[in-house]
Each structure stands twice: as structure tokens, then as C-alpha cells.
Chains A and B, each alone.
Chain A
Amino acid sequence: MRKGISLSNTHRVILVAAAVTGLFVVLQALRSSGIITLYWSQVLDLSLIMTIAAVGLSLIYGFAGQFSLGHAAFYAIGAYTAGYITKTYGGTIVTFVAALLAGALLAGLIGYLIGLPILRLRSDYLGIATLGFGIIAKVVLDNSDKISPVLGGAQGMLGVPRLATFAWIYWLAVLAIVLARNFILSSHGRACIAVREDEVAADIMGIDTTHFKLLIFALGCALGGLAGGLYAHVYPFLSPSLADFLKSFDFLLIVVLGGLGSLTGSVVTAIGWTFLLEWLRKVLPQDFLDWRGVIYALVLIVLMIARPQGLLGGKELRLLRPARSTGKEGSRHASA
């Protein structure tokens, strides 16, 4: 039942690149012409930012099986770092790029350092430890005005220049997805998946489990930091609650709902869920706005019970799978 055209690798890449660019052009046109209103443009921006962070967590949890309940901490670290740089040094292209890089790198570095001691904890305990780290991060941010008044402390940081245009966000999201995909399909990625599937066996096979666990964790956190950095330049107000457990849970929910081990799932769910929430806000009549939270929770519960493996558990969009020229049928992607 597979469509029979077998494309070579180069052809695939060109096709995908064309499709992605085409989509960009279309979306950009819709935005400029006002067909997509300013409000929904912002929602689109935020959903793409969520995607980047979700991809990061997907790597950490979906593919490497590291149960992290503190992803938002890295998101917040990226946001504050990047915001600090452009706020202090002015908002130019150079500082913007530097800020994003700094945010991602710092998040990745801290992820690495945190990971060193805690990644050897058992799954549930790792979750709790990362949760604890998230709270510590929030408390540090609450007191960030002691580090520098620019950071605002518990009152939040205002005044970060709004430099993140749709172009930046879109292409960085594409970059994140490509990066993640290539990583998974590389030998590094395969090693990580082996570690998740059966750590003892992987160990015996000579894979340096610690190294790979750390590597993917740091990479995932860095992506989270990148997302945060972008967020800081879209949204005028940063507060320490960005590192909150609730935010971490948002990311986790997206990855799980999308299906573990599925990059496509994470991307689709990230975008879809963000829009769904905003749509709920719009669609509910004024007096019923407080039902939004209830509906969100109910949808979540029902989805999980009805389909616990997530929407796309283990499945991947054809585009993101390797070309079949590897000989074997390439659709047997590592499943959840």
C-alpha cells in the first residue's frame, strides 16, 4: 500500500526544501496581507516556539527515555539569558544572534552539568530530581534582581526588544526539526535509542551509555533554551513562572500526546495544541471562559485514556524517515 515512487536522497532533500520554503512564502503572504490577523500571527509564532522546545524534550524523553519534568527551567534560562543580552547591549541583528546562541548554549551547558549527577537516577526519581531543579531555577529567577537589576527578579523582566520576526522563528523551527531528525538517524542517535530500549544491552554492546545520555540531554536542553530565547523576543513580559512545573508539564504533555519516539507527533501536537487552546479562548462565550481549564484537563484525560500511546506513537512522517535506498524497508522506525 505504499506509493511506489522511490526517490533518491538528493531528490528528497530538494523536494522537502522546496515544500518548506513554499509553506513559508504562503504563510508570510497571509500574514502581511492581514488574512491571518495580528493576534493569530502571534499564536502561530508561539506555537512554533513551542515546537522547538517540544522537539528538544522529544529527544530527551521520546527518544532517549529520560524522564525530565524540568524542561521549562531550560526554556526560562534561555529566555532570560537572551533577553538580558539584547536588553543590555541593544537590539541589533548581531546581538540578537548572540543572544539566541548564548541562551541555547547556556541552557545546554547547565543541562549537561545537571545531567552529570542526576541522569543515573531511576526514571521516576529522575523526574522528581528534574522537577526539583525546575523549582530551584524558578526560585533563582525570583531572586534574579540580586544578580542584576535588569533581570527584574520576582516582578518579571520587561523591555526586551521585540526582534523575533516570523522569519526567524519559522526557519529556526525548521532548523531544530532537521537537526533533531539528523541526530536521531545518525549513529549517535541510534546509540541513544539503544540506551533507551535496553540500557544493559547497550552497555554490553560497548556503547558509552553515560556519554550518550548526557549528549542528548544537553542537546534537548539547548533546544529548549533556544525556544526560550525566541520567546523572550516575541513576548513583552518575562516572569519566573516560565520555569514553573506547569510549563514543563505543557511540554511533556505535547511530547506524550504526540507519541513517544515520533518527531512528527511532537511537531504536530505542539502546533495543534497551542491553536486548540487559543481557539477555546475565542470560542467560549465570555461567561464561560473559566471553563477553559476544565475543558483542557478533560480533553487531556480522555485523550490519554483513549489512546495512551499518543497520537502518533512510534510513527513518523515519510519525509522525516530515511530514504529507502538503504535497502531495507526504512519504515521500521524505532518504536515507542
Chain B
Amino acid sequence: MSQLLEQLFNGFQLGFVYALIALGYTMVYGIIRLINFAHGDVFMVGAYIGVFGFTLWGLPWPVAILVAMAACAVLGVTIERLAYRPLRHKGAQPIAALITAIGVSLFLEYFCSLKFVFGPDYRVVRLPFEVQRWSLGGASITNVQLLIVGVVIVLILALQYLIQRTKVGKAMRAVAQDPDAARLMGINVDRVIAYTFAIGSALAAAAGVLFVFAYPQLRPFMGIMPGLKAFTAAVLGGIGSIPGAVLGALIMGQAEVLTAAYITTDFKDAVAFAILILVLLVRPAGLLGRSGPEKV
């Protein structure tokens, strides 16, 4: 029983990190119908900057996280401005933006692998605090796990507040619903999109640093798998839906961990995707998604 409990904790650790990344995916998709493949790599950059923050630059780690978030917000907006906006203004097919997104993703990965940037090697990370363990109902739980869950919940609540209670949030919802109508209402659509990218990227950066707390290693390609899984989680929950993204991520995290623990480690990656396919077949718009008219 205590093993099950501990595995559930493991699943939450993973799931909450995925949730933070998934939020960025879902927000961007909700607003411009683009799967921003580069998001996983923004996560990676955030992780590196955060780690540099509390190692090289000697910042206290909460400050390091904020610095990483700010830096990645800028990165996200830059990417949007340079790579996606031109295509949007040209009225290009969505597939072009998608391929470009993948191109940006690859660019970030390879560029950061260059020796004068981050270098291609694994780096071991010295955590800025001691890992502490407690026993809860016979299961082991660490301060890192609590930190992750805590920070993610705070950020999700902050996001919800932003979206529901502020003008910016209202504008974002408007653009997500109907960009043309929003434009007619006087909303600067381009700027709203930029904000969305900024916020999503900042969340990814936070996710990156938290991820490193849990799994203390850095490498330029570290964002691929978490990005992919988080993105799948967002789809699972219904892409465009914020609670959906969180729900989907928690399910993905648990599925992965529980499969590894109780079925076999061999198939743990496949199970998560199999669940996705099954859910999509039954609920084509995802668990909490709103099914729009079939794209013809």
C-alpha cells in the first residue's frame, strides 16, 4: 500500500511538471491554432538559465527561477515575432507554421549544443538546497516533490486569475474565440498573441527549473520528450482548455509512473500515447475540449 502511495507521489511530481509545460502549448494553440513545437526547447533554455542563475551567478534559487521566466518570455516573443508572425501575415497554410515551429525547435536544440553556447554534454547539477525526505503513510516524499506541486499550483491559480479577471486575459479569450471579431472590437491581436507567447514561455521556463530540481541533469536535447508528452497531455485534456491541460498532464504523469511500477518499464512511453489515441477516438476533442465544427 505504501508503495502505491509513493508511486502516486512520483506520478504527481512528473505530472505537475508536465502540466506547467502543457499550459504553454494549450494557450498558444487556443489562440492561433499552432502546435508550437519549439515550446519544449524554451523549457530547456529556461532550465539552463535557471541553473546558471543559482550556480554561476550566485542568485538565490527563487530569483533564478524568475530570471529564467523573464528571459524565456523574451525568447518566446522573439520567436513569435521572427518565425510565426510573418507566416500569419502572409496568410500561409497552417502546415507552414507547423514546419517552421519544428525548424525553430531543431534550431534551438542544435544551437544550444554548440560549444560556445551550452555545449552538447550532460551537465550534472548541484542543487542549491538539501533534498529532504519524510515518510507519509509509509511512503517517501521529498521536499522537491512538495516544492514542485506547490509552485505549479500557485502558477496555475495566477494564470486563471490573469485569464478570467484581467483585461489582458479577456482580450486573450476574445482572440481565442474569434480573432477577426476581436480585431473589429479594437483589440491589437498581434500584441495579444505576443503576450500569450510570453506567458506560456515563462511557464515553460519555470517548469524547466523545477524539472532540474527533480532530475538534476542538463542537456540541450532534454526538452524533446517532456515537450512531446506535455503536448500530448494538452491534447488529451482538450487542447485550448487550461483545466484540460492540467488534467491531461496529471493523467499522463500517473500513467507513465504506474505503468513503470506495476506493468513494465518497457512500455511506459507507449502506454501514455495509447491512452491518448483511445481517448481521441471516443472524445475527438479531448477530455475537456470543446468540439468545433469539423474542419473541411
Contacts and interface: CB of A to CB of B under 8 A. Distances in A.
B87 A136 contact: no
Interface in A100-134: 117-118, 120-125, 127-129, 131-133
A297 B96 contact: no
A309 interface: yes
A145 B95 CA distance: 37
A155 interface: no
A298 interface: yes
B111 A136 contact: no
A301 B280 contact: no
Interface string A174-206: 000000000000000000000000111000000
Q: Interface residue tally of chain B, by bracket?
A: 35 or more
Contacts of B87: 304-305, 308
A263 interface: no
Given A67-B95, A198-B296, A124 B280 contact: no
Q: Interface residue tally of chain A, by bracket?
A: 35 or more
Contacts of A298: 103, 107
A253 interface: yes
Interface stretch (A51-59, A231-239, A286-294): A286-294
Given A132-B276, A139-B267, A293-B106, A309 B115 contact: no
Interface in B215-251: 228, 231-232, 235, 239
A17 interface: no
B115 A139 contact: no
Interface string A2-42: 00000000000000000000000000000000000000000
B115 to A, nearest CB: 7
Interface in A301-330: 301, 304-305, 308-309
Contacts of A297: 103-104, 106-107, 110-111
A293 B113 contact: yes
Majority secondary structure of chain A interface residues (helix, strand, loop or mixed):
helix
Given A129-B276, A245-B228, A294 B284 contact: no
Interface centre among B109, B110, B294, by most chain A C-beta atoms within 10 angstroms, is B110
A206 B33 CA distance: 31
Contacts of A120: 284
B104 to A, nearest CB: 6
Interface string A142-172: 1100000000000000000000000000000
A238 B295 CA distance: 38
B180 to A, nearest CB: 20
A252 B280 CA distance: 23
Contacts of A305: 83, 86-87, 100
Given A139-B267, A300-B103, A128 B95 contact: no
A124 B273 CA distance: 15
Nearest to A137: B270
A124 B83 contact: no
A167 to B, nearest CB: 34
Contact of A135 (B99, B114, B270): B270
B122 to A, nearest CB: 16
A221 interface: no
Contact of B277 (A67, A132, A260): A132
Contacts of A253: 99, 102
A253 B109 CA distance: 18
Given A256-B96, A290-B114, A132 B107 contact: no
A59 to B, nearest CB: 16
Interface in A42-93: 67
A121 B295 contact: no
Nearest to B84: A305
Contacts of A277: none
B279 to A, nearest CB: 10
Given A135-B273, A249-B102, A301-B104, 13 more contacts: A118-B281, A122-B284, A123-B295, A128-B280, A129-B277, A131-B273, A132-B277, A199-B294, A200-B296, A290-B114, A291-B110, A297-B104, A297-B111
The 8 residue pairs across chains A and B that have the minimum distance between CB atoms: A293-B110, A297-B107, A308-B92, A132-B273, A308-B96, A139-B270, A300-B103, A297-B106
8 contacts: A117-B281, A122-B295, A124-B35, A132-B276, A257-B99, A293-B110, A294-B114, A296-B106
Interface of A: 67, 117-118, 120-125, 127-129, 131-133, 135-136, 139-140, 142-143, 198-200, 245, 249, 252-253, 256-257, 260, 290-294, 296-298, 300-301, 304-305, 308-309, 336
